Structure 1
Amino acid sequence: MINKLVSLAEAVSIYTGKCVAWLTLVMMLLTCLIVLLRYGFNIGSIALQESVLYLHALVFMMGAAYTFKDDGHVRVDVFYRNFSARKKAWVNIIGGVFFLLPMTLYTGYLSMDYVGSSWRVLETSQEPGGLPFVYLLKTLIPLMMISLIIQGLADIGKSVGVLQSSSNTLTEKGQ
C-alpha cells in the first residue's frame, strides 16, 4: 500500500516536473522575442516581460517537488554520502518529519491569507500594460507547499520501506 502511494506521488512529481521543464524553452524564446522587439524594432511590452517572470516562478515553484524527488536540492552531504542506505533513510525520515513537513505546512498556512486577499480583489499588475493575473501567480505559493508535502511524504514512505526491507534482511540473516 505504501509503495503504491509513493509511486503515485512520485509519478505526479515527475509529470509536473517534466511539464514545467518545457516552460524553460518557452521562457528562453520569449526572452529572445523581448530583446528582438526592444532593440530591433524599438517596441517594449510590460506584459511580455511579466510573462517571463510568471514562467520563471512557475518553473521554480512547481518544479521544486520534482527536484526534491531526484535529490537535486541543496544538501550539505559531507557525511550523508558515506552513510549506509539505512542511515540515509533515518536522516531522510528525521529531516522530512522535523524540518520539511513543518516548514511547508507553516508556509502554506501563512500564505493562505496573502493569496486569499489577492483573489478577493483579483489583484493585477501595478504596471500599466502588465498582466492581470497576480492572484494566480501568488497561488503558486500554496501549490508549491502542497506538492512538496506530497513528495516529502513519499520520500518518508520510501525511507520507511528501506528500513523495513533492511530489517527483514537482518532478521533473515539472524535465522
Structure 2
Amino acid sequence: MSVKIAALILLLLPLLAALRVPAVEDVLTRIVKLGFVIGAAACLPLFLVQFAVVILRSVFSISLIWLQESTLYLFGAMFLLSSGWLLLTEGHVRVDIFYAKMSEARARIVDLLGTTLFVLPISMLIIYVSWNYVGTSWAQMERSQEASGIHAVFLLKSMIPAFAVLLLFAGEVRIIRLLKGARDA
C-alpha cells in the first residue's frame, strides 16, 4: 500500500510544477544531480580497484574476493546512479534519423509522449518490482556468498530502486521543462 501512495505522490510532482510551484523542478534536479555526482565519484575508485585486482592476480597470484566484489558496487553506483542525470542532460545515445528533421514543437511532443508513456511507467514498474526484493535483502541483511566477500549485498540491491527513482525524477523534470516550452529539456 505504501508503494502505491508513493507512486501517486511521485506522479503528481509534474502537476505541482505545472501549477507554478517553483521549488519542485529545482529540488528534483538537485536530487538527480546528486545521484550523478555519486556515480561520477565512483569512476576513479573503480579504475584503481580494477587495476589493483588485475595486478594482484596477474603479478602476485593474490585474489581478494572483497576487492573483486567492490568493483560490482562501484559499477552499480557509476551506472545506476548516473542514469537519471544522463536522461536529464540528453546524454544517452539517440538515433536522430527522424528527430533531427522535426520541428521544435513536434520534437517536444515526441519527447513529452516518450517520457510520459515510457520513462515514467517503466521507472514505476522497476520501483514496484524491486521493492520487495530489496526489502527482503534488507530484512535479512543479505551478505556475500563468499566468506571474505563484502557483507552488504543489501546496499548493492538498494541501487535498483534508487536508479528507478532518479530516472523517474529526471523524467518528471523533463516533462516540466517540455511543458514550459524547452526543446532541450
Could you tell me the TM-score, scaled by structure 1's length? 0.86
Mark the runs of 5 or more structure 1 residues left unpaired by the alignment.
164-175
Query: C-alpha displacement at 1:2, in angstroms?
Result: 5.5
CA contact (8 A) 1:3 1:158 kept: no
Q: State the partner residue of 1:19.
A: 38
CA contact (8 A) 1:6 1:155 kept: no
Q: 1:30 aligns with which of 23, 45, 49?
A: 49
Identify the range of structure 1 (121-130 vs 147-156) with the bigger mean alpha-carbon deviation: 121-130
Mark the runs of 5 or more structure 2 residues left unpaired by the alignment.
1-19
Q: 1:110 aligns with which of 116, 126, 129?
A: 129
Asked if 1:80 corresponds to 2:99, the answer is yes
Q: State the partner residue of 2:64.
A: 45
CA contact (8 A) 2:39 2:80 kept: no
Could you tell me the TM-score, scaled by structure 2's length? 0.81
Structure 1 or 2, whichever has the larger Rg, is: 1
**2:175 alignment partner, SS class:** helix
Query: C-alpha displacement at 1:3, in angstroms?
Result: 5.4
Query: C-alpha displacement at 1:36, in angstroms?
Result: 2.0
Identify the range of structure 1 (54-63 vs 123-132) with the bigger mean alpha-carbon deviation: 123-132
Q: How has the CA–CA distance of structure 1 residues 19 and 135 changed in structure 2, closer, same or farther, with 3 Å as cutoff?
A: closer
Q: 2:151 aligns with which of 132, 137, 144?
A: 132
Asked if 1:69 corresponds to 2:51, the answer is no
Query: C-alpha displacement at 1:9, in angstroms?
Result: 2.2
